[in-house]
Amino acid sequence: MAAGGLDALKNNIDKYICSANDAVCFKMIQDTSDFENEKKTFHPDMSHQIFGEKEQIFGYADLRIDLFYSATQLFGYLGMKYSEKIDPEKFGVEVDNINKKMEEVLPPGCCQSLDEYSSHLQKDSDFHPHGEMVYQYNRTYKDGTEKVFEMFHPSIEDPGFREYHGRMQTFLYWFVDAASYIDIDDEKWEYYTIFEKRSRNCGEFTYLFVGYCTVYNFYAYPEHIRPRISQFLILPPYQRQGHATEILDAIQKLFLTRENIRDICVEDPSENFQRIRDFIDCRNCIDFDCFQPEKLPNGFSKCMFEECNKKLKLNARQTRRIYEILRLKNTDILNENSLQPYRLEVKRRLNQPFTAKQYGKKLDSSIMPSNDERFNILESEFSRLLEEYLPVVERLNKNAM
């Protein structure tokens, strides 16, 4: 390769590197008019699982990747546009093979012809969600419009759902960190899908995909199960509208109707999801006798866990978290005399891993932090918890108004 060509590439390299999160443009398509409707566009939250940790694509200038899904059946279309592409023969460097990198995260049967894709859209009008409708709720928006949403409980045995799930799960790598596909032949998986229900002529309805949730039922001795909420997705056009709170609460209450449930847990929740879960559980526990304001300063008690487990199937860890949030709600954090007892109570729990009594044996002092190090660790952890808890407290206060 000529030195001049290499120098020219180095001088202009930035224009051939783009953010994958900006380049990838999602749209949920209802009809062909949406192809050019930029108001429908939304971008992925992440792309490191496809394009690497830097989330960059190399070799194209002004790159745009259109990834369309039909709004009901989730049929896919992939299109690419760019103003310029590096010539590997001229510059001696390979550009990113976008199709190859994305092949695992494209909906099965994804086409690259808009004419072909338009024919798929015609089939959307015949779609009805798989499984039984198990929950319905409404949302009223600022402009006064009211929309209806429904949650369905399909089975992998329902005709067509296996293929539908294959298309549905391709959102995960873009919107759920550390996501992976599940073994759909494992009968312990349960599925919940959420749709916006819109009226059409003659009493018919269109169902627009909103999101979905998977739950894995672990065995618990001797004859119980522990449902673990695994994947939980609400698409960006429907986020910040209360859907995650509504759906998570509904799913937990559905499990409460089953007699063989030991407790309900969540797999590696994100900060946002944990905050939603905390709010729901606090809201459901706040009127319990053991969580009344006058009893909270007495500390965490066995009866708190027993009541939460019996009525809400919460485990001990989540119950303790609810106690700490509700006690914080009733603590004046600007008053040191009020905050100090709360701080000490939380730090006693945080200190347990450092105590020999916790393990029933003598710990190796050589691997234990010094007193100063332990103080700094506990102070840092306490500050982190306050950052997690305060938004929940704020939302609980608003909810009470």
Active site residues: 267
**Cα separation, 338 vs 187, whole angstroms:** 51
Q: 166-186 burial, b for 16+ CB within 10 Å, e for fewer?
A: ebbbbbbbbbbeebeebeeee
What contacts 24+ positions apart, CB below 8 Å, involve 9-17?
A: 9/86, 9/91, 9/93, 15/61, 15/84, 16/58, 16/59, 16/60, 16/61, 16/84, 16/86, 16/95, 17/56, 17/57, 17/58
**Cα separation, 233 vs 236, whole angstroms:** 9
Distance of CA 165 to the CA centre of its chain: 17
Only one residue has tokens 């939302």, namely 395
Of 62, 53, 49, 65, the C-alpha closest to 99 is 65
Helix axes 316-329, 371-400, angle to 10 degrees: 70
- Quote the longest CA-to-CA distance of the chain: 80
The two tokens of residue 289 are: 């006798």
Of 36, 242, 257, 223, the C-alpha closest to 153 is 257
Residues near 102 by Cβ (< 8 Å), separated by ≥ 6? Answer: 50, 65, 78
Q: 221-231 burial, b for 16+ CB within 10 Å, e for fewer?
A: eeeebbbbbbb
CB 242 within 8 A of CB 300: no
List alpha helices for 286-355, DSSP H.
302-312, 316-329, 336-351
